[in-house]
Amino acid sequence: MRYGYFDTEKREYVITRPDVPVSWTNYLGVEDFCTVISQNAGGYSFYRSPQYHRVTRFRPNGVPLDRPGHYVYIRDDETGEFWSVSWQPTGGNAESYQVRHGLSYSVFSCNRNGINAEQLCMVPLGDACELWAVTLSNVSDSPRRLSVFGYCEFSFHQIEMDNQNFQMSLYASGADCQDGIIQHDLYYEETGFQCFTSSFAPDGYDCSRDAFLGSYRTETNPLAVETGHCSGSGGTTGNHCGALMKTVTLEPGGDVNLFFMLSEGSRAEAVRLREKYRSPGAVQKAGEALAAWWDKRLASLRVSLPHAEMENMLNVWTLYQAEVNVLFSRFASFIEVGGRTGLGYRDTAQDAMCIANAEPDGCRKRLIQLLHGQVSSGYGLHLFRPEWFMREEKAQSFKSPTVVPTPDRSEMIHGIKDVCSDDHLWLVAAVCEYVREIGDTKFFDAIVPYADGGEGSIYEHLTRALDFTEEHTGAHGIPLGLRADWNDCLNLGGGESGMVTFLYLWALKHFIAAARFLGRTNDVEKYQARLDKAATAADEALWDGEWFRRGFTASGRPIGGAEAAEGKVHLESNTWAVVSGAVSREKGIKCMDAVDAYLYTPYGLMLNAPSFTVPDDEVGFVTRVYPGVKENGAVFSHPNPWAWAAECMLGRGARAIRLYDALCPALQNDIIETRKAEPYSYCQFIMGKDHKLHGQANHPWMTGTAGWAYYAATRYILGIRPEFDRLTVDPCIPPEWKTFSAVRVWRGTEYRITVENPDGAEYGVAGLYVNGQKAEFIPLSQEPVEVRIVMGRDIH
């Protein structure tokens, strides 16, 4: 069953039936003001922090999932009938509604009672406000008298204040309307203002939520809309809203454009913004600027493939999702509702690394933040707020009555018991990939403080990360698992992690390549010796005959392996064994065959199988998770692209695409009855075979899958990889792909790449031509470069 389709030309997903099984969301805003919005215009806004500066309210985990929202109501003043421009909150015949989710904007439209209505929501660049551009057209044959209402519910800023302890918060805010601007004021904050205004002088308003909705009513049937009259409510204390109303008369064929605006800051700022955006063409110009912002990012790599869904995902949706993760980390969605903010170390490093081409500045910003969150002994703080280390927080000039203890700096630095064994290793590769992208090797020399004092060059930060892992190995000579590795639920403590073993080898390879390029030969030798030693230890300790084990518990029991009754085969250790490049091709093929045999499902690869059913705290929390769910035997999406990369390293392009396709959201557009979640976003996990909802996708948007899907598909399947001094193109594709092309912008130059595959090879470059000349490699260039690759069977 399908609910919509991709409009590739417009870079939109068009929802033709908004009664989708769960909320299908989009993200508005690419700077300080953000709104997470559903296909029903439900959701919430925040300014900079969803935890500390909420603008509009959200009732998390509610029924329905997405209330309240940013709603526009229309009332027919002749008949008293009313409806909303988005399908909810009033409901009605879903088929008369349409939603277009685009890059940082959403458009809701409906055709009801002879009126066509549209509401475009977006956050313009440079201003902290959300614009709702509304158009109503009378497509009936009689004149119509309509009342239009814009409505949103304000939030107390702090999520705790907004969700608990109302004995203070309910009495500490106010809202009033002057000059057509509703200003919401959090009285206990020095800069606690938001405004709601419109392009017109309103015929009525409400600032009190309860007055607008009326007792025992909801957003579905607000009293003010039902009666056609706002009551001019407002004042101090209580819960507040922005509700502005205008009455219009439309002749047959007539239309009207209005806008509502929700903005951060005081009334004076709202006056400025209202002037700016109500001038003719201003909203359209803002839309064009936003589109250009996205054009620039999307232009960093444009692909043209014999695989329409993959082309669309890579050119638009996967990059978009990955960007949103870099912008807002994991902490604003309908699942993560803003109660946790800050940066997860490993997530941020991977997100940033994966889109260095499209977002070099964002990548750099995140890397610098991570470097500040690294302690001098080398590990990263698992979850931290960059402002702890990067600037003194401005002290509030007064004490608020709710005592929330502020930790001292030393308390923010957790000790070894909370160290995750993988966090700092991602940083090593991420920094190297960033430098490969931008070419500025001086980045390695920049001095950055450590979180716990002292400072060092970025190069030194990386050595300390590697040294930390070297110094924390266990009985088999491979890295300890510590609090967890990439798998939050594998809590090995003093046990050893097979995955981190291979991740360490991968990080070492990145670092050695950088050291070699920088001419630091002593370090090349030193770390190469460690790599050789670690690779031997890995092979000896982890190979089980057919595949690689996941690790060892603190008491030395192997995790995964032929003998294991549960959790026999794990995705992480086997994919990383291959991606690390440290194991033989023969073992690589065997272990990926085992992955295929044990973990493949039509919805992607499961993380482990069979699922654990018996709690075993030496293995970790994973054994206490329901079988087939999350880290215990679900299709955990994030590691799936590792398998695509691994298959490409083995030269098995057909297999890589088979795995790509299994996880591909766009290819599940027509099975929404199973998938449920939006088909334009990867989800954190999909229920595994051991769960009766097998195939149901959960937790859209905020997952490292997006970055890795982009990275693995572009760098391994398409094989387009920047090195320190050259560009490599080494595809691994299915034999039936006869050709594909791509335009990659690298260090400011366009590389126009055409790949031909006359013999149906899966990998191997038989001929490389640069600007028509046969070449050994693709060099750096200031001028646009034409690259032609001819693939050949069995050549590597």
Residues at the contact surface with ligand GLC, assessed by CB under 6 A: 330, 344, 346-347, 486-489, 631, 684, 703
Distances in Å between the alpha carbon of 190 and those of 57, 186, 324? 20, 8, 30
CB of 386 to ligand GLC, least distance (A): 17
Return d(Cα 54, Cα 35) in angstroms, integer.
10
- Count CB atoms within 10 A of the CB of residue 393: 9
**How many Cβ atoms sit within 10 Å of the Cβ of residue 202?**
20
Minimum distance, C-beta of residue 423 to ligand GLC, in the bound complex (Å): 9
Q: What is the DSSP string of 662-674?
A: HH-GGGGTT-HHH
Angle at alpha carbon of residue 167, lines to 162 and 172, rounded to 5°: 70
In angstroms, what is the minimal distance from the CB of 383 to ligand GLC?
9
Q: Which of 210, 255, 488, 759 is catalytic?
A: 488
Give the position of tokens 């997470």: 36
Q: In whole angstroms, how close is the CB of 663 to ligand GLC at the nearest point?
A: 15
Closer Cβ to ligand GLC, 684 or 757, answer by number: 684
Q: Dihedrals φ, ψ of 711, to 5°?
A: -65, -50
Burial class (CB in 10 A: 0-12, 13-18, 19+), 247: middle
For the chain, give the longest Cα–Cα distance: 85
- Is the peptide bond prior to 405 cis by the omega test (within 30 degrees of 0)? no
Residue nearest to ligand GLC (CB): 488
Q: Which is nearer to ligand GLC, 69 or 560 (CB)?
A: 560
3-state secondary structure at position 717 = helix
Q: How far is the CB of 682 from ligand GLC (least distance, A)?
A: 11
In the complex, the smallest distance separating the C-beta of residue 705 from ligand GLC, rounded to whole angstroms, is: 8
Give a three-class secondary structure readout of 412-441. Answer: HCCCHHHCECCHHHHHHHHHHHHHHHHCCH
Amino acid at 352: A
Nearer to ligand GLC, 315 or 684 (CB): 684
Question: Measuring CA to CA, which residue among 367, 401, 378 is closest to residue 161?
Answer: 401
Asked whether the CA dihedral 623, 626, 630, 634 is positive or negative, the reply is positive
Cα dihedral 101, 106, 111, 113, rounded to 10, equals 140
| AA identity, residue 781 | S
Closer residue to ligand GLC, CB minimum distance, 25 or 684: 684
Helices (H), 228-359: 267-278, 282-298, 308-312, 318-328, 345-354
CB of 608 to ligand GLC, least distance (A): 12
**How near is the Cβ of 488 to ligand GLC at its closest, in Å?**
3
Beta bridge partners of 173: 186
Distance CA(28)–CA(22), nearest Å, equals: 19
For residue 757, give the H/E element and its range.
none
Q: Which is nearer to ligand GLC, 684 or 714 (CB)?
A: 684
User: For tokens 């401005």, what's the residue?
Assistant: 394
**Closest CB to ligand GLC among residues 572, 678:** 572
Start-to-end Cα distance in the chain: 43
Of 354, 376, 364, 342, residue with least CA distance to 51: 342
Residue with Cβ nearer ligand GLC (40 or 684): 684
With respect to ligand GLC, which residue has the nearer C-beta, 240 or 638? 638
- How far apart (Å, rounded) are the C-alpha atoms in residues 188 and 175? 14
Q: How far is the CB of 350 from ligand GLC (least distance, A)?
A: 9
Q: Which is nearer to ligand GLC, 346 or 590 (CB)?
A: 346
Active-site residue flag, 488: yes
Alpha-carbon distances of 230 from 71, 208, 227, rounded to whole Å: 15, 10, 8
- Catalytic (active-site) positions: 488
